[in-house]
Structure 1
C-alpha cells in the first residue's frame, strides 16, 4: 500500500470517528416545541377535565383549551445534529439547557417543582374563579411546609388550614406566628385546623429555636390558604406541570359556575398564570403555544398583555386577545360572543 493510500485511509477513518463523535456526544441545549392542548370544558381520558361538586353547575358549549409546550426532558440530552435540525424547524426554539434547568438539579427535583407549581396554579385559579362567580371564599393561615425533624412533624401536614390557636381565632399567618411566640418552650399548643374539609384539633409541644433558644417554635412555615364550599377536581395529565394554565383553568371553572355560555361554541385557547386575586401573569413559549392552538383549530387565543411583545407572527385564522386579569378575560369573551361588540375587542398592538 502506498503512502498516499495510507494517508487517505487514515483520513477517512478519522473523519468517520469525528462524525460519530459529533453525532453521539450530547450538547448543552434543549428544545421547545408545540405541545398538547386540553379542552377544559371536555374530557380527558373519559373523565371531565374539571369536575365541580357542591355548587350548581351550568351547561357549556365550545372549547376552552389550555396550551402546553413540549420540552426536552431534564434527564434527556440532545446531540448536535438534533439541535441543528430543531433550529431550522418551524415552531421550535433551541435554548441553552441552563436557561431552563438549573445546573445540578435532578430530574426528580424538576418534576417535583413543576408539580408544585401546577398545584399552586390550580388552587389560585379556583379561588379567582369562585370570587368572580360571587361564591364565598375565606382566607385562613395554612401550613405550607413541615420540618422533618420539627415539633409538628407527623402532627400537622402541608395544606392544613388553621382557624385558631389555643381557642383564639387567627386570620393571618402572622397571627399564628405571634401566638406560638407568646408561648413558652416546652408548652403544649392546640391548633384548630381544617384538613381535607374536616375540622379537627392537633396539639404540638413547642421546642426551642435553633438560633434563639428562648424562642418557642413548632417547625412549620405558614402561608395563606383558602376555604370554600365547592370541590373542584382536575383530570389533566399529571405529567403536565408549571403554572401557565391558570388563566384557562379559571375561565373554565367560571363558565361552569355561571349562567350563559362564555365561549358560545367557539374554540378558544390561551395561556397565562393566575393569582388568587384574579391577576394574569406572563409566561414563556408563546410562539409554541400559538402553534399548538392553531393546529387544534382554535380561532381565539388569550394571552397575558405583557407577552404581546413576544409575538412575532400569528397563525392564519387566530385572533389574539391580550388580557391583564380574569375580569377582563371574561368581558372579552362575552364581547366576542356578541357580533355587535366583537369588533371592539382589542388585540396586541
Structure 2
C-alpha cells in the first residue's frame, strides 16, 4: 500500500474513532444542581402545601426543597459530555447503575420514583402532625391488591381496614390473626375506610403458600388524621428526599410560633413517620443549588455530613438526625442563638 493510501486509511480510521467517541454512549449520567421550590410559597396560584380542616398560621420566610438535575433514564451521555460534566465545578458524572437500578424499564424507574414521593409525603405529614401534637391514629392499610386474587375489584390500595368479620383491628398482625382462623373457601367481611367513606367488601379466601389462606392483599400500616394536606409540587419532581422539608413546612403552617422567620432556609433528607431523617444522594449538587438561590441555612442529614467535608459554602450547614433536631435548630437560628446549633464539620 502506498504512503498516500495509508494516509487516507489512517485519516478515515481516525475520523471513525472521533465520531464514535462523540456518538457512542458511556454508562454514566450527569448530576447538576436542580431547581429549588419554596414549600411555603405557591405554584400556579395555589399553595405548594395546602392544609384544610385545621387552623393554620402565616409564614414570612422561604423553606426550599432542593433537587438534582439528572440525565433522564431514557437518555445517555457521550464520552466528551461525561468528561465535561466530571470536571465541572458544580456537576458530577455518576455510574449509571448507581442512579438507575439495572434491569428496570423506564416505566418501572419512573413508577418507583413517583411511589417514593407519594410515600414521602404521607410520612412527612404524619411526622409533622405528631410534632405539632395533632392526633394521628395508626390503622392497617391495604398496600397492594393482586389482580388475580380474591380481593380484586373489591379492595383498593390505600383502603384503611377498620374491622374484619365485625372485629375491630388496629394493626397488620391483628388482621392476619383473624384470617389465620379461616380456611380456603370461607367468606370474610372487611370494613374499610376509602376516602373517609365506609365500604364493605366480602372476600372468599383462596389457598395460599405453605397451606395458608390468601386474601390477595398485602397489608401495611396506614394513618388516619383530621387535617387534609395537599401538595402542589411539579409532578416532574419525584423521589423521597423532600420528606424533611415537607414535614417542616407542614409543621410551620400548623404552629403559631414562626419557624423560619424572615430567613431563606433550604435542606434535604428522607423522613419516616417517627421523624427520623435519612441520607440522600446528590447532596453536593443540592447545596450548590440552594447557595445559588440565596439560602443562608442548609439542613443536612447527619449521615451526609461526611460527603461535604471539602465543600466551601457561605451557608450554615446544620446537622440533623430527626425532625425534632431540625425544628430546634431553626428556632435557635430564628432567635439568634446560632452558636448552639449543631453543624457539619
Equivalent residue for 2:278?
281
User: TM-score, normalised to structure 1's length?
Assistant: 0.96
Matches of 1:30 and 1:316, distance apart in 2:
25
* Partner residue of 1:296 out of 293, 298, 301: 293
Equivalent residue for 2:119?
120
Pairing 1:169–2:178 present: no
Matches of 1:315 and 1:154, distance apart in 2:
55
| Matching of residues 3-42 of structure 1 within 5 Å | 3-42=2-41
Matches of 1:316 and 1:288, distance apart in 2:
12
Equivalent residue for 1:149?
148
Matches of 2:324 and 2:222, distance apart in 1:
22
Matches of 2:271 and 2:101, distance apart in 1:
24
Matches of 1:197 and 1:147, distance apart in 2:
23
Matches of 1:212 and 1:62, distance apart in 2:
57
User: TM-score, normalised to structure 2's length?
Assistant: 0.97
Equivalent residue for 1:343?
339
Equivalent residue for 1:65?
64
User: Alpha-carbon deviations, 1:95-132, whole Å to 9, x = none?
Assistant: 11111222221111000000111011100000000001
Contact 1:63–1:263, Cα closer than 8 Å, also in 2: yes
Matches of 2:231 and 2:317, distance apart in 1:
27
RMSD (Å), alpha carbons: 1.2
Equivalent residue for 2:308?
311
Matches of 1:236 and 1:160, distance apart in 2:
24
- Offset, 1:3: 2.5
Equivalent residue for 1:218?
215
Equivalent residue for 1:334?
331
1:32 alignment partner, SS class: strand
- Offset, 1:314: 4.1
Matches of 1:101 and 1:348, distance apart in 2:
29
Matches of 1:316 and 1:184, distance apart in 2:
64
Pairing 1:158–2:157 present: yes
The ranges of structure 1 where at least 4 consecutive aligned residues each deviate by more than 4 angstroms after the TM superposition are none
* Partner residue of 1:267 out of 257, 264, 267: 264
- Offset, 1:329: 0.6
- Offset, 1:205: 1.2
Contact 1:181–1:217, Cα closer than 8 Å, also in 2: no
Matches of 2:311 and 2:80, distance apart in 1:
29
| Unmatched runs of 5 consecutive residues or more in structure 1 | none
| Matching of residues 47-66 of structure 1 within 5 Å | 47-66=46-65
Equivalent residue for 2:246?
249
Matches of 1:280 and 1:325, distance apart in 2:
5
| Unmatched runs of 5 consecutive residues or more in structure 2 | none
Matches of 1:107 and 1:237, distance apart in 2:
19
Equivalent residue for 1:97?
96
Aligned residues: 345
Matches of 1:100 and 1:257, distance apart in 2:
36
1:337 alignment partner, SS class: helix
User: Alpha-carbon deviations, 1:77-103, whole Å to 9, x = none?
Assistant: 111111011111111111111112222
Matches of 2:310 and 2:113, distance apart in 1:
29
